[in-house]
A and B are shown apart, each in its own frame.
Chain A
């Protein structure tokens, strides 16, 4: 087990390096750069600025310097666009915000989605099931960029209950709407996966055995059906966790939360190489870690899996 984790982490290093090289090259292949604008700068000035950021160096040298600074100084370099701000600072500011409402959305989506799915499955073909399924489909059909404006219209402009945006250190009033907007559609998907998985498990032979043993429904569902039901859900949850963090750009936009999602998209638009690469590495590392956690969770849910 410990060996397995070590092995996976060792494999993660070349994975992330490959990710960096690929993103680095793709950015440079695309025409234009951080300092191209509608009114072109005089060539001497441009050369001057590019030299300052090391953009005049050959590509391999730029890549080498980039890696060198990360490994030796843990420095992801200065932002090319936002003056006087380093990538480390931008991430340190934005990531805690994204992580807070991302993790909350993830928890909300999982808890509500799984409960909804299980309720629907054990009340299969009753009105409870139909209501739960309808809710799930409706939720799934509402992406966060639709939910955002609807929520603001309802709770801020119409009812006047919640502030329409801002972060304010993550007070609960400021968290509610971003979390709802971000979690709704994942909640729907999780509910549907859980329901169909549970229905399948409840039809399996070992549940028949459990019934034949005279176990009460409660024991059958919690002890026998739960873990196998959640197996397919787990494999969906891993990517969802990364999505709620990366897909938060609309939340940042609508609710002015100041998370990393917005920096990510604007860095891509303005060719802020350093910020874009920094966030890519962060998300890459996060994906690798979440995948590892997912695989470890599998082993807990299914004893057949041993590492």
Chain B
């Protein structure tokens, strides 16, 4: 049965620069109980098609064509009529669950509103239904959540609340707009499982809007590939993944890094240039207590040791809050480490005075996540790139400096015409090239990439990764590559270090970590990464660790994988790292079955 039928939908926006055709006539049907994937990169118009269908465009938008919901025309209906459909027949969930819920209303209040406007329910009955749905989306301690505010829940839980809220009236269609993009992989896997179950149990049709081919492979029956406001390819998921016919789809699939495949990066055997020993970074956090409050240490990085060889790339992975970015910043002393030593070519980096440290910074560079925000908006890109030259090579004349900048711009793939442009005039990928050029201009010996490709579209991401690898081959710098995306990390790294709540749980060469992980945490992390291949993805066994990623302030959380020590009352126990194979370090842990059994017992 067809739930939603879209016919030649066009969406235009009136802007000061003229009319922008965001969607140029798309047609599709969604049937009950199926998951339709709308895949495309940013600006392809995939979200706007659905926003227009539901009348949620900004005021300068215009939609033409036809949108039928169960045979009734709903496009451009007046808001009062649309309001009977939104939330009742069509539920919607969005990308960022942190901002998608009203911050000052309790979960129970926000959910009950839906029942009030669509079913006229309130009070005890509404509460019972909300509770029922919170249970159905598997939120632990559902009753307590009703009285909590959104900020008191984790990202994964907030997205579950969004789903529960959207499902309250058991809609025929659920529109999920990048529902898991802001979530950690393990949480993403759980949210996807949940949506899949709802689809099977209730026959809800799901429109899944995403840029992630891996998510599509796991979830979708049929796919529409969208580019610049048009569908370039459509069909059964399996057929498209097996034999993409359009060049754009082929490029998109090629650009997707895969956790399960990839040529092994060779092991670097150069001298060790950076040695970090027992690094600790603790932040004081104010908590209630006493007249003036008191502070407890948040152990963001809690005893991390590693070495980095010349020309080597070490990937650092872990979920949000594991301390990966803090670790990188502490290595460069952008935040002061609380304890531990950093040795850089034998020099103790953490004991250098300001002046000596500044001299070393010539060789220590970093590229950040948000390329636009990390460049000075009032400086031309050439000025930004030239700044390290002015600091470290003041003897250069103006024309020499200019020549260096132009050479580096061309090296990273920026045309020389862009010399006098400002960051806001460039795309995200171009700005990240500027960031890389600025970092590379003095030919540093170490570059830290802190989620440097995470904000970019898949195809741009692939280009930047290739660029970094080329630069490394040419200039021989070492890299610390930090990312929450394990597939990308695998592609670029020689070795990978897995962090969990400020500690190393596993470290080894990239292939071993991705294909034969040992630690339960690494195993669950790797098994949660979606693979852009519907067959392989659906056959894969997932290792689901029960419970959510715990708070770093919880003293018991650090020993989540050693419940036997917790049971013995040794809460301060520090798991030891053992070398299970040459170069493959694994933190002490209990057997996976024991951990699962204990967690289940605790939950019961």
Chain B residues whose C-beta falls within 8 Å of the C-beta of A303 in the assembled complex: 103-104, 149, 151
- Write the nearest CB–CB distance from B305 to chain A, whole angstroms: 37
Nearest CB of A to B35, in Å: 19
- Do B86 and A212 have beta carbons less than 8 Å apart? yes
Q: Is B216 an interface residue (CB 8 A)?
A: no
Q: How far is the CB of B152 from chain A (nearest CB, A)?
A: 8
A6 to B86, CA, bound (A): 48
Shortest CB distance B58–A (Å) = 8
CB of A233 to closest CB in B, whole Å = 15
Q: What residues of B have a CB within 8 angstroms of the CB of A124 in the complex? A: 59
Kindly list chain A residues whose C-beta atoms are within 8 Å of the C-beta of B91.
212
Question: Nearest CB to that of B58 among chain A residues?
Answer: A203
Q: Which residues of B contact A235 (CB under 8 A)?
A: none
What 0/1 pattern do residues 88 to 119 of B give for CB contact below 8 A with A? 10011010100111111100000001100110
With a cutoff of 8 Å between Cβ atoms, the chain B residues found around residue A301 in the complex are 104
Q: Is the CB of B103 within 8 A of A216?
A: no
Cross-chain contact of B79 among A217, A227, A228 (Cβ < 8 A):
A217
Residue numbers in B under 8 Å from A210 (CB-CB): 102
Task: Give, as a whole number of angstroms, the nearest-CB distance from B90 to chain A.
Answer: 8
- Chain A 190-220, CB-CB to B under 8 Å as 1, else 0, gives 0000000000000011101111111111010
Which among B96, B105, B114, B151 is the interface contact of A205 at CB below 8 angstroms?
B96
- Asked if B117 and A213 make an inter-chain contact with CB atoms under 8 angstroms apart, the answer reads yes
Query: B87 on the interface (CB 8 Å rule)?
Result: yes
Closest to B109 in A: A223
Q: Check B291–A7 contact: CB distance below 8 A.
A: yes
**Interface presence of A302 (CB below 8 A):** yes
Known: A124-B59, A211-B56, A212-B87. A228 touches B103 (CB 8 A): yes
Report the bound CA distance from A208 to B87 in whole Å. Answer: 12
Interchain CB contact under 8 A, A304 and B85 = no
CB-CB under 8 A from A125, the residues of chain B are: 59
Question: Is B206 in the interface zone, CB < 8 Å from A?
Answer: no
Q: Which of B379-416 contact A (CB under 8 A)?
A: none
**B102 to A224, Cβ gap below 8 A?**
yes
Could you tell me if B113 and A223 are in contact, using CB atoms closer than 8 angstroms?
yes
CB-defined contacts of B86 to chain A, threshold 8 Å: 211-214
Which of chain B's residues has its CB closest to A124's CB?
A: B59
Q: A7-B292, A125-B59, A217-B79 are in contact. Are A209 and B85 (CB under 8 A)?
A: no
Interface residues of B in 55-99 (CB under 8 A from A): 56, 59, 79-80, 82-88, 91-92, 94, 96, 99
The reply to whether B100 and A214 contact each other, CB–CB distance below 8 Å, is no
Partner of B151, one of A3, A215, A227, A304: A304
Q: Count A-B contacts at CB 8 Å.
A: 80
Residue contact A206 to B102, C-beta cutoff 8 Å: yes
* Distance between Cα atoms of A124 and B59 in the complex (Å): 10
| Chain A interface mostly | helix
Residue B322 interfacial (CB < 8 Å): no
Contacting pair B113 A219 (CB below 8 A): yes
Q: How many residues belonging to A are interface residues under a CB distance threshold of 8 Å?
A: 28
Interface residue range, chain B: 20 to 34
Closest beta carbon of chain A to B450's beta carbon, Å = 25
Flag if A206 contacts B79 (CB, 8 Å). Answer: no
Bound-state CA distance A301–B91 (Å) is 28
Alpha-carbon distance between A104 and B85 when the two chains are bound, in angstroms? 46
Complex Cα distance, B59 from A125, in Å, reads: 10
With contact pairs A224-B102, A228-B103 given, residues A209 and B94 touching in the complex (Cβ less than 8 Å) = yes
Q: When the two chains form their complex, are residues A214 and B99 in contact, meaning their CB atoms are under 8 A apart? A: no
- 0/1 interface trace, chain A 113-137, chain B, CB 8 Å (1 if under): 0000000000011000000000000
- Give bound CA distance, A210 to B105, whole Å: 12
Q: Mark B159-182, 1 if CB is under 8 A from A, else 0.
A: 000100110000000000000000
The answer to whether A3 and B291 have CB atoms under 8 Å apart is yes
Q: Are A214 and B149 in contact (CB under 8 A)?
A: no
* B276 within 8 Å of A (CB atoms): no
A217 CA to B117 CA, complexed, in Å? 12
Q: How far is the CA of A215 from the CA of B59 in the complex (A)?
A: 18
Q: Does B54 interact with chain A (Cβ within 8 Å)? A: yes
Q: What residue in chain B is nearest A301 (Cβ atoms)?
A: B104
CB of A213 within 8 A of CB of B59, answer no
The CA of A227 and the CA of B291, in the complex, are separated in Å by 30
Cβ–Cβ < 8 Å partners of A227 in chain B = 104
Of the listed residues A125, A213, A223, the one surrounded by the most CB atoms of chain B closer than 10 A to its CB is A213
In the bound complex, do residue B87 and residue A213 qualify as a contact, i.e. CB atoms below 8 Å apart?
yes
CB distance from B293 to the nearest CB of A (A): 8
Q: Chain A contacts of B114 at CB under 8 A?
A: 213-214
Q: Are A302 and B104 in contact (CB under 8 A)?
A: yes
Are A205 and B99 in contact, with the CB atoms below 8 A? yes
Q: How far is the CA of A205 from the CA of B96 in the complex (A)?
A: 8
Give the residues in chain A near B118, CB-CB below 8 Å.
214
The answer to whether A213 touches B94, judged by C-beta atoms less than 8 angstroms apart, is: no
Contact digits for B437-474, partner A, Cβ 8 Å, 1 yes 0 no = 00000000000000000000000000000000000000
Q: Are A216 and B99 also in contact (CB < 8 A) when A7-B292, A209-B162 are? A: no
Question: Which 9 residue pairs of A and B lie closest in terms of their CB atoms, listed nearest first?
Answer: A214-B87, A214-B86, A213-B87, A212-B92, A205-B99, A214-B83, A303-B149, A206-B102, A205-B100
Pairs A–B under 8 Å by Cβ, sample size 12: A209-B92, A212-B56, A213-B86, A213-B113, A214-B86, A214-B114, A214-B118, A216-B80, A223-B102, A223-B113, A224-B105, A302-B104
Interface set of A (CB-CB < 8 Å, partner B) = 3, 6-7, 10, 124-125, 204-206, 208-217, 219, 223-224, 227-228, 301-304
Besides A204-B99, A304-B151, 12 more A-B contacts (Cβ < 8 Å) are A3-B291, A205-B99, A206-B103, A208-B100, A209-B100, A209-B102, A211-B56, A212-B86, A213-B113, A214-B118, A302-B104, A303-B104
